[in-house]
Every structure is written in structure tokens, then in C-alpha cells.
Amino acid sequence: MDPSRSVADLSARGCVSRLRHGNDRTPVPSGFRSGFGFSLLWRGRGGVVGIDRSSRDRIRLTLDQLVLDDVAPERVPRRVRVSLFVDDPLPVPGERVMLTAHLDKPQVPAEPGGFDFRRVAWFEHLGAIGYSRTPVMTIAPPDAGGALALHRLRMRLSVAMKEAIGGQAGAVSSAMMTGDRSGIAEHTNEVMRASNLFHIISISGLHMSMLTGFVYAAIRYLGAMVLGLAGLASSRLHKYAAAAAFLSAASYLWLSGGDVATTRSFIMVAVMLIAIMSDRRAISLRTVAVAAVVILVITPEALVSPGFQMSFAATVALILAAEPWQKIAPRLPWWLKPVTLLLVSSLVASISTSPIAAAHFGRVSHYGVFANLLVVPVIGLVVMPCGAIAAVLAPFGLSDLPLWCMGLGAKWMLVVAEYVANTGGATTLIKAPPHSVLPLMGVGAILVVLSPVYGARQIIARRMVGGMAIIVALIMWDVSKRPDVLISSDGQAVGVMTPEGRAVSRPKGGTFAVSEWLAADGSSNNQVASAAIPYWVDNGGYKKAVLPQELGGVEIYHVIKASFDGKEDSFCQNGSFVIMNRPLELDRVIKGECTVLDSDYLKITGAISLDWRNGSILLDGSNGSGDRSWSGGAEFSAKY
């Protein structure tokens, strides 16, 4: 498709017909080995390689080594992920299972420039996603050995921990120790996000540093005590402690499943421990740079992930704050130092990560520092040490007491999260920023805090430029304009921006896309509330909306599973837009000036945004995100 062609040309009947005949399926990215261009009822077999929980609180299975009935081998995806709507006992990793599921390709972005799940799926080798409403049948037991045997052991440890502690405290404790988050309910996830404690559920540098710090300090102090009682001394004790901490970090990496975030945390901690063993400075920006390079070589896709950005932003900020703290700490009373250090570290980490979290997740947690002050010490002093002790004592059957203590810490965290989340004004929803805001803000922050020190003038000049860059980024964020009209990729929903918020054409249909739109708008409405905004006029088989005069007064018709009923000429007047969730009949001739966007057309463009600017209508499609391996095509856009 030529992006320079006008929408009016593309909406002609002949072009729509060619789109239908020539592209009856959306192009499939070559990296997926998948031919699914439509919802397919699939019957087949596969091996279970992963179990987790979706954002809609559904258990999901990741399957590989697939055999699909009535599907050619060249069209079989490498992996699929299926959400389960049944509560039957779950299979274990490594089992061969059989099930019936509805599968489709990974979804295109809900709007142009939105989050592209296809990129994530491409790196995870997911060729299709879907759901199943039928029981999962085991047809072959798992192999006795192999990597999945260790995974099954990890899952058994997770189940044992959940049962020993019980409830959501057990699920959270298991997630922090084994990385298995399948037992955490969506309500728990939501209150943890609202209280800015969600990072504690995900195994991160915080957990790695707490665990390795505990092991390092314990071995060093215990070793010094033993050597002192024996009248001996060792200048290499800190290296032995670092080696033991390194082994504990590696064990924790295996126990947690070794996903991308945990691997990133392990690399960061491992570089610091190796620096100690090599008589190098452990806490320095050079160490952080080495860890970043290693991580990006192994997983380059991590660069655009919020976990990578927030981890390194917090680490760099804490390292930079260490030197001023060392100057202030000697002047404080001994009893005030721990409290002040906790307050300062939480404040520094929150300031450095809050803009990134706000840009990615669309919310600001106002009481996050307070919640972290109450919870992080308990995690560091109770939960993680008790988890490590339980792991050591478990082979001897003595893990009950440390697990009980660990559960108390997890329950405290949940109580704090629930209280903070339910406090009035705990969070503020904000709109999604333009893509240029976060990089510009990052460059500005680098110039402010990392400018080389050559003299007073250079410091002032660089930091002034960095500060201006941050201010410009914030202004761009504030004045940025959300799309005037958004159309889902399946034609099931249309949303028009109004002074009362985005008015959606239907209270149901296109649910995922609508939820993404409202989140990016910074709106607290759900789809039902957005559909209740008095903007669309219901005419039975179709909905009609008239844009304000500053947007040209254009009429928009959303036709839903109904024929035109002879209203073609009345629809196509004055450059109106007609959106259909079904294909336009090939023999249908529409007279007049209008743009018809039927389901076949939307398969080519993906979700569409319409903007009226400077007397022109800008149309963007989300089905391509440039010529990339996961997008399968070039960007679609037009102006007329």
C-alpha cells in the first residue's frame, strides 16, 4: 500500500475490493512462523513450558513443540500462549497436553504509536495467543531429566511455600522467592500498583541486593567472629563472603526461573560482587555501565522495557547520592542514621523512577514513598532473610518457622498496600506522553547529574541545558494532544474525544482497545461509563456522531452487524466516515463523498487514529511500526 495515497482514493469501492481479494489475511511477520490471520478454533497438542497469570486474572499456559490438527506444518507457530477459563488442576511443566483453543496472531497496537505486543511476542517466540474454555488433558508425562525438571522442582517449591504460608501472603512470598506469580490475584496486583509497591512482587535488583547483602554480611560478620575467637585474622574474608554471595545470587537466579528481569538483576549484582573479589570498587558508575552493556548484548529488547529503565535509573541515582550521604552521615546520631538512610534512599529512588513509571503506566502514586518506608525495611530485614534461611533449612524439614516469619512480613506489606491504595487521592491518572518525551527527559537528567566536572562554567552550562531539556519535555507532555478519533482494528469500537472524555460508540465490543485508549487518555472511566457520555445517537443498526465545527463538523457512522438498509446516500455526504465491523459487499455501490473503513480495510491498516489539524485530516494506522521483523510491513499514514 502506498502511504502517500489519499484516504478518499483508498475508500473507493474498487480499492476496497482489491484489499479484500489481495489481502484477505493480515500479513504475518516472518519471524513468527504463523499463518493465523483470523480467530481459529484449534485442536492440537503441545508441551507445557510456562505457567503464569494474565492481567485479567486468568491462568495461562505457554506451549511449544506444537502439533495442530488440520494446519500445515509451515503454518504452525513455534509457541502459543493460551488463557484458561476452567478451574481444573493445572498440568506441570514438561507435560504433553491436548486442548481446544481459539487462537489468533499477537495483537497490533490498540492505537498508532501504542504499546506493540508483537515486539514482545517476537522476542518470546510467540506465534499466536488465545483462550480455551475446555479442560486440558494430559497425554504424556514429562521427561525425567532436562531443564524442565529443574523448573518442575521450582514449581513444587512454590506450591509448598504457598501452602505453608497460605492466602495472598503465600502467593506474594512465593513470587518474591521463586518468580511464580500465578497465585497472585489481580486485586492484589492493583493495590500494589496504587501504593507503588508493585516492584516488590517482581524479582528485581532490590531482591537480589537484599539477599546477597544478607549472605555477604552474615558470612563476613560470622567469619570475623569465629576468626577473632580463634585469634586469627584474614584480609581475604570479604572476598570469600563475596564468593558465597555470588553463589547465593546464582541459586536465586535459578530458583526464580531466570526470566529477563531476574537475569538483569543477577548481572548487576554479579558485576559488583566480582569487583569486590577483584579488589575493584563495587559501587561505581563504571560497574553499572558494565552491567548495562552485558544486559543489552544478551537481551537488546530490554532497552525499551520499564524494568530496565527504572532499575538503572534508581541504581545510578543511589550511587550518585552515596557520596553526599557519606559526608552527612558522620554528623548524625547513630540511632538516626538508619532511618535517615532509608528515607533518603526511598526518596532518591522514587524521584528517579517516578517519571518513567508515569510514562509507562499512566499513573502517579502520591504516597509511594510513605508505603516504601513502611514496607522495604520489613522486606530487607524479615522477608528475604527468612526466605534464604528457609531455603537452607528446607532439606532438613526445619523451614516452618522461617516461612511463618516470612509470611508475617508479606502480610504486613499487603496491609500497608491495601491501606495506602484505599486512601483518598492515592493515585493520579495521567495521559500517555509523546514518544520523544522520555528520551528527552533522560538526556536532560544525564546532563544534570552526570556532567563532567571541568570547572564552574561548564558545570553550570551543562546543567542548565539539562534542566531546560527536562522542562521542555514536561511542557511537551502537558500540551500533547490525544487523537480526536480512534477506531479499533476490528471495527468493533469507535472513540471520539469530547470535553467530558472519550465517548465510545458501544458499551461492549473492542474491550481491549477501549481500555488501552482510556488508560492512555488518563481517564478513570471504563467502557460502560465512556459509552454513557451523551455524544453518539443510536439509530438501531448504526451509531452516529457529529464532530464539532473546529473539527470540520464531520459525521461519523459506526455500522455494527447490520446492512445499510438503503441509507447509503444519506451516509455518504460532506466527507463523512463510515466504520464497519464487517466487510463491505463487493456489489455495493455507494454514491457521494465519504470514507468507508470496513473490516477488510482495517485488517490492512490496523487500529486507526483521525486528527483534524490545520484544515487537514491526518490518518494513521497501527498495523505497521516500520519495516521491522515483528511488524511485517511499513508504517501506514495518509493526509488529505
Residues in the chain: 640
What is the count of structural domains for the chain?
4
pLDDT score recorded for residue 519? 94
**What does pTM read for this prediction?**
0.82
Whether 315 and 267 have beta carbons less than 8 Å apart is answered as no
pLDDT score recorded for residue 590? 63
Q: What CATH number is attached to the domain comprising 48?
A: 2.40.50
Does any domain span residue 474? yes
pLDDT score recorded for residue 260? 66
Whether 578 and 596 have beta carbons less than 8 Å apart is answered as yes
Does any domain span residue 464? yes
pLDDT score recorded for residue 39? 52
Q: Are residues 450 and 515 in the same domain?
A: no
Closest CA to 155 of 132, 175, 136: 175
Closest CA to 98 of 145, 66, 51: 66
Give me the residue label for grid cell 484544515. Answer: 615
Does any domain span residue 526? yes
Residue 176 pairs with which residues in a beta bridge? Answer: none
Whether 520 and 432 have beta carbons less than 8 Å apart is answered as yes
Q: Are residues 475 and 503 in the same domain?
A: no
Does any domain span residue 385? no
pLDDT score recorded for residue 454? 58
Q: Domain ends where: 140, 166, 200?
A: 140
Give me the residue label for grid cell 555477604. Answer: 216
Q: Are residues 500 and 449 in the same domain?
A: no
- SS3 of residue 71 by DSSP: coil
Q: Are residues 507 and 462 in the same domain?
A: no
* Start-end of H helices in 278-399: 285-298, 306-328, 337-361, 368-378, 384-393
| Rounded alpha-carbon distances, angstroms, from residue 360 to 135, 310, 430, 612 | 36, 10, 10, 26
Q: Sign of torsion, CA 571 576 579 584?
A: positive
Does any domain span residue 249? no
Phi, psi at residue 381, to the nearest 5°? -95, -20
Q: Are residues 530 and 610 in the same domain?
A: yes
Does any domain span residue 603? yes
Does any domain span residue 235? no
Whether 110 and 86 have beta carbons less than 8 Å apart is answered as no
Q: Are residues 473 and 530 in the same domain?
A: no
Whether 338 and 368 have beta carbons less than 8 Å apart is answered as no
pLDDT score recorded for residue 211? 84
C-alpha cell at 627: 519495516
Q: Are residues 471 and 580 in the same domain?
A: no
Does any domain span residue 369? no
| Rounded alpha-carbon distances, angstroms, from residue 301 to 5, 295, 352, 580 | 33, 10, 22, 36
* C-alpha gyration radius of the chain: 28
Q: Are residues 343 and 447 in the same domain?
A: no
Q: Are residues 334 and 449 in the same domain?
A: no
Q: Domain ends where: 140, 173, 202?
A: 140
Domain that holds residue 340: 305-360
pLDDT score recorded for residue 268? 81
> Cα(318)–Cα(537) distance, rounded to whole angstroms?
55
- What residues contact residue 137 under an 8 Å CB cut-off, 6+ apart? 97, 98, 99
Closest CA to 477 of 515, 514, 510, 435: 435
From the first residue on, what is the mean pLDDT of each consecutive set of 10 residues in the chain (640 residues)? 35 30 31 42 82 78 87 85 85 87 88 90 89 88 70 81 92 86 86 86 75 88 84 81 92 75 80 88 82 87 87 86 88 85 81 88 87 86 88 86 94 95 89 94 89 68 90 96 94 94 92 94 94 89 87 87 59 83 69 82 90 85 72 53
Residue 503 pairs with which residues in a beta bridge? Answer: 496
DSSP state of 456: H
- SS3 of residue 493 by DSSP: coil
Q: Are residues 538 and 613 in the same domain?
A: yes
**Residue 288: CB atoms within 10 Å:** 19
Q: Are residues 519 and 631 in the same domain?
A: yes
Q: Domain ends where: 360, 377, 396?
A: 360
Q: How many CA atoms lie within 13 Å of 597's alpha carbon, on the beta-carbon side?
A: 30
Q: Are residues 529 and 579 in the same domain?
A: yes
> Cα(503)–Cα(522) distance, rounded to whole angstroms?
14
